[in-house]
Amino acid sequence: MNTQFPHERILMGPGPSPVPQRVLRALSAPTLGHLDPQYLAIMDETCEMLRQVMRTRNPLTFPVSGTGMAGMECVAVNLVEPGDEVVVCVNGVFGGRMKDVMERCGATVHVVEAPWGETIPHDKIAGVLARNPGVRLVGIVHAETSTGAHQPIEGLAEIVHAKGAMLVVDAVTSLGGHDVRVDDWGIDALYSGTQKCLGCPPGLSPVTMGERALARLDARKTKPQSWYLDVTLLRKYYLAGGGGGARVYHHTAPINMTYALREALAIVLEEGLDARVARHAAVHQRLRAGLEQMGLRYIPSHSLHTLNCISIPEGADDAGTRRRLLEEYGIEIGAGLGVMAGKAWRIGLMGHGATVRNVDLVLAALRAVLGR
């Protein structure tokens, strides 16, 4: 085990995903101060690129200092006050985490559940909203990483807004790999992570908040419970310069991670969002065809392209198979989480790792390992 110089791995698990050399080189650029004019220009460019990738014009679109869960917490602590009623859709681990985070903010949570691996029908959400007219927010996971389920979002905002509530979306495993349209779909707040389809190291969580979310934030009766994630303070740093005012220091931004994210977003935009989504779809279909030819079964009825969740075949050694893939082929795939522990493997095809080469390699390695 080399702790000084880690071995390279072929990352095909649920994240992190492979990072291009361009992004790693950007990470090593000279560190600047967080109020240096050069850095502020880089940060502003990064935020504008995030708007393009999220397909939004929201001014408050920025990278939260922390991984995807920090994005979830940021949205929750700012948009939920003690006593608020919210709806959270749960069909896997990360819907369950959203419920936990909302409850920690003091919310009364109405849960809309579906079996793990299934998606949640919009009419089921509409029914819960009809029975609970005081709901202020609906939270849903677009790409449930624990099950590989791809949740439809388009059309949901109309149902939510008609009841006077906001729509919050977890796009951690979909942004940059699946179609995500914040403005067109009427999403009020969305968060993601850098370490999945964006092809960047873990460490930042892109967040966007629209007009409804900011109005709710401004109407709060209490301060957000987190000082570090308080958007009333953060936006004075991220937005003040764009409005002609002075930046207000909040915390020292992760300078070099911003460089890395900017370069990763540049790669996304150079490829083109539509072309990138099509690439992820194509390699997913190639992987799926190969796995099903081997007799392996997909668990979700509506599968993500970016995260492929399959049943472990009868008689296969879960941990032993994953260990041999790692040790003999340098390939990392993910184990099952929660109720799927010991029952599922999760194969990621995200960002720089969503290639024909990786698909064919993991298929060949699985055939060899399972054939023993």
**1: pLDDT strictly greater than 80:** no
In this prediction, residue 7 has a pLDDT band, given cuts at 50, 70 and 90, of confident
Using the structure block, give the residue that is written with the tokens 């502020």.
40
Rounded to an integer, the average pLDDT of 134-147 is 98
Q: Looking at domain 21-269, which CATH architecture does it have?
A: 3-Layer(aba) Sandwich (3.40)
Closest by alpha carbon to 277, among 181, 369, 362?
Answer: 181
Kindly report whether the global pTM for this prediction surpasses the value 0.85. Answer: yes
pLDDT of residue 94: 98
Read off the pLDDT band of 83 (50, 70, 90): very high
**Alpha-carbon span 74 to 230, nearest angstrom:** 7
- For residue 48 the two structure tokens come to 């504008």
Tokens representing 70? Answer: 């920090």
CB of 201 closer than 8 Å to CB of 195: yes
What pLDDT band is residue 81 in, cutting at 50, 70 and 90?
very high
Please name the residues in contact with 219: beta carbons below 8 A apart, sequence gap of 6 or more.
none
**Annotated domain spans of the chain:** 10-16+273-371, 21-269
Give the number of residues written for the chain: 372
Class at the top of the CATH hierarchy for domain 10-16+273-371: alpha beta
List pLDDT tens digits, range 84-101.
999 999 999 999 999 999
Tens digits of residue pLDDT in 172-196: 999 999 999 999 999 999 999 999 9
| pLDDT interval class at 4 (50, 70, 90) | confident
Give just the sign of the alpha carbon dihedral 284, 287, 290, 296. Answer: negative
Q: Tell me the CA distances in angstroms from 304 to 46, 169, 277, 283, one per residue in order.
A: 27, 16, 11, 12
Looking at every residue in the chain, the average pLDDT score rounds to 96
DSSP calls for 237-301: HHTTGGGTS-----S---HHHHHHHHHHHHHHHHH-HHHHHHHHHHHHHHHHHHHHHTT--BS-S
For the cut 80, the answer to whether the pLDDT of residue 242 exceeds it is: no
* pLDDT value of residue 2: 74
Backbone region of residue 155 per phi and psi (left: phi > 0; alpha: psi in -120 to 50; beta: other values) = left
